[in-house]
A = this chain, B = another copy of it.
């Protein structure tokens, strides 16, 4: 380290050539909010000099920026890597070409399957990547007591993660009702991470409740739905992360809250993005473009993507282009339409013209199988009445309605309450897959439009049991078993056979394959679902949230149907 510093000093003084020199760039200086011409000299993974000095002109390798802009690498302030359906090394391959060089991730999904072991695997799988993967300890595992997850994390479990140099703090404290009620289990987690960043998750929580949530130690929020909500949260001391996720598009609604005076209190996050969207729309670069397109000063937009999250998380070594900081750099041509043409991370070129240079890091082995189902012969539901409570799916939303639907007088099979695809009434099942309990939650869902077959997924927030929506009880079992046979994954079955799969054998959540392959598999599965009549844009995304009993109004877990408003189990038959 001393030798490295000594060399950095010599290079900065012009006594030795740099390892890499970016020459003739227009520097996006987030520290002064100015553009200025500059060269950037790099030694190892660090910037050692920035300026127009001739002393910098020598280097082992020179990149002619030729007037391109150079900005600090982008930072995603809050992301669940698992939503990309690929292992961290593959996720890096997806986001680096978009200029995202650092992510603050919450390994919340794998923690629900594998607990601390899962988090440690994510840390191992993200060690030494070109992408800096920092983590927050998952705060709410499981999401509720009304389901069977693979693990339960108490404050004492989370504390075992604190010493890791890439664990920054506590991830989103979703159980805000618990915090507001003074639940000692939740408060113990906040106490355990006192003095570190504690991310929040408080959709619509305002007024006294917001003050109380803040008083408990939470310092950020990414769930704002309106500019007014963001203004109140910023005034309360929160950092507000503007979010644009596949399933939660809030950026444009919240952006009007950002002013030149309060801008340092905002950052960007993607939260959850499916692989195809990461590849084709982008990562934080997409949010930067969107914000600039909506009128935000480009320098401010880039500051929200760089310096602000770095300062918020105490990442002293990044967020600006300055000597001593990490050489994480993004070059692009157009300040009004930021599309990285060259990305440097840790001093190395990691992407060029949207294509990853290098990459393909293989995930470490050692992750145990997680599909441990005590199978039943059938997923048929015994008919126990004529009217059922059905989950009413709303396209592109996580909330559902609770519908009461009359079953047809003539059942599909005697004594069976079956799906009625011609009435868009599908059977929904959630099959416990962690502990061989044999639990199966049974219910109905409307809004899929599926005319035949079944969709199954081992991605089912947050406990990630197998969720199946079916127009046919037989196909339901075939799809669910196929998901388990893959070690986890997404499956479309119809006519008694498997028609499409997306294998996710790592914890039933992730594939260790190129993200494009997984995105293509998913697109094919969605196409098959569409052929079967499903009219949803992202049917598996929709399916995966039907098992999350902390979002209103009616959801299904392996324990059964959950009336979320009452936060209690309820009967299928009315």
Interface residue ranges, A against B (CB under 8 Å): 1-2, 5-6, 8-14, 29, 31-34, 36, 43, 46-51, 53, 55, 179-180, 182, 184, 187-188, 190-191, 194-197, 207-209, 211-219, 231, 234-237, 259-262, 264-265, 311, 314, 316-317, 320, 322-325
A182, A215, A218, A231 interface centre (most CB from chain B within 10 Å): A215
| Minimum CB–CB distance for A185 against chain B, Å | 9
From known contacts A2-B188, A13-B208, A49-B208, infer whether A237 and B31 are also in contact, taking CB-CB under 8 Å.
yes
Interface of A is mostly: mixed
- The closest CB in chain B to the CB of A188 belongs to B2
Question: Which chain B residues lie closer than 8 Å to A14 at the CB level?
Answer: 208
List 24 A-B pairs, Cβ < 8 Å. A1-B194, A2-B191, A5-B215, A6-B187, A8-B212, A8-B215, A9-B180, A9-B212, A9-B215, A10-B212, A12-B211, A12-B214, A12-B215, A13-B208, A32-B261, A34-B261, A49-B211, A50-B211, A195-B317, A197-B316, A217-B324, A218-B324, A236-B322, A237-B325
Please determine whether A31 and B235 come into contact, CB atoms closer than 8 angstroms.
Answer: yes
Tell me whether B324 and A234 are in contact (CB under 8 A).
Answer: no
Taken together as a complex, chains A and B put the C-alpha atoms of A78 and B265 apart, in Å, by: 25
Contact A236 B323 (CB under 8 A): yes
Chain B residues with CB under 8 A of A12: 208, 211-212, 214-215
Q: Identify which of B2, B36, B190 contacts A184 (C-beta below 8 A).
A: B2
Number of copies: 2
Closest residue to A237 on the B side, CB-wise?
Answer: B322
Partner of A13, one of B180, B218, B236: B180
Which B residues are in CB contact (< 8 Å) with A196?
316
Bound: A323/B314 CA distance, A: 20
Residues of B within 8 A of A261 (CB): 32-34
Measured between beta carbons, the chain B residues less than 8 angstroms from A324 are: 214-219, 237
Q: Which residues of chain B are near A234, meaning CB under 8 Å? A: 31-32
In the assembled complex, which residues on chain B have CB atoms less than 8 Å from the CB atom of A322?
Answer: 214, 236-237
The reply to whether B49 and A13 contact each other, CB–CB distance below 8 Å, is: no
- CB contacts (< 8 Å) of A194 on chain B: these are 1
CA distance A53 to B208 in the complex (A): 8
Tell me which residues across on chain B come within 8 A of A10, comparing CB atoms: 182, 212
**A433 smallest CB distance to B (angstroms):** 34
Q: Which residue of B lies closest to A307 (CB)?
A: B264
Residue in B46, B49, B219, B316 whose CB lies within 8 Å of A195: B316
Q: A5-B190, A9-B180 are in contact. Are A211 and B31 (CB under 8 A)?
A: no
- With A and B bound together, what is the CA distance between A10 and B314 in angstroms? 30
User: Cα distance A400–B322 when bound, in Å?
Assistant: 35
Is there an interface contact between A48 and B182, defined as CB atoms closer than 8 Å?
no
Closest B residue to A232 using CB positions: B51
Question: What is the distance, in angstroms, from A132's C-beta to the closest C-beta of chain B?
Answer: 13
A2 x B187 contact (CB < 8 A): yes
Q: In the complex, how many angstroms separate the beta carbon of A205 from the nearest chain B beta carbon?
A: 12
In order of increasing CB-CB distance, the 4 nearest A-B pairs are: A237-B322, A12-B212, A214-B323, A33-B261
Chain B residues in 8 Å Cβ range of A53: 207-208, 211
Q: Would you call A236 and B180 a contact (CB within 8 A)?
A: no
CB A33 to nearest CB in B, in angstroms, measures 4
Whole-angstrom CA separation of A47 from B217 in the bound complex: 11
- B50, A216: Cβ atoms closer than 8 Å: no
Q: Which chain B residue lies CB-closest to A6?
A: B182
Contact (A191, B48) CB under 8 Å given A32-B235, A208-B55, A322-B236: no
List of B residues within 8 angstroms of A190 by Cβ: 5
Task: Check A13 against B317 for contact (C-beta < 8 Å).
Answer: no
Complex formed: what's the CA distance from A304 to B512 in Å? 48
In-complex Cβ contact of A215 among B32, B48, B317, B320 (8 A): B48
Distance between A363 CB and nearest chain B CB, rounded to angstroms:
28
* Known contacts A8-B216, A32-B261, A191-B5, A237 near B320 by CB under 8 Å: yes
| B49 engages A215 (CB within 8 Å) | yes
| Min CB gap A193→B, angstroms | 11
- What B residues does A32 contact at CB under 8 A? 231, 234-235, 259, 261-262, 265
List, in ascending order, chain B residues with CB within 8 A of A50's CB.
Answer: 211, 236
A325 to B33, CA, bound (A): 29
| Contact A182-B214, Cβ < 8 Å, known A29-B235, A260-B260, A322-B237 | no
| Chain B residues in 8 Å Cβ range of A9 | 179-180, 182, 187, 212-213, 215-216
List the B residue with the shortest CB-CB distance to A10.
B182
Q: Are A264 and B264 in contact (CB under 8 A)?
A: yes
Q: Which residues of B contact A217 (CB under 8 A)?
A: 5, 324
A31-B184 contact in complex given A8-B215, A212-B13, A219-B316, C-beta closer than 8 Å: no
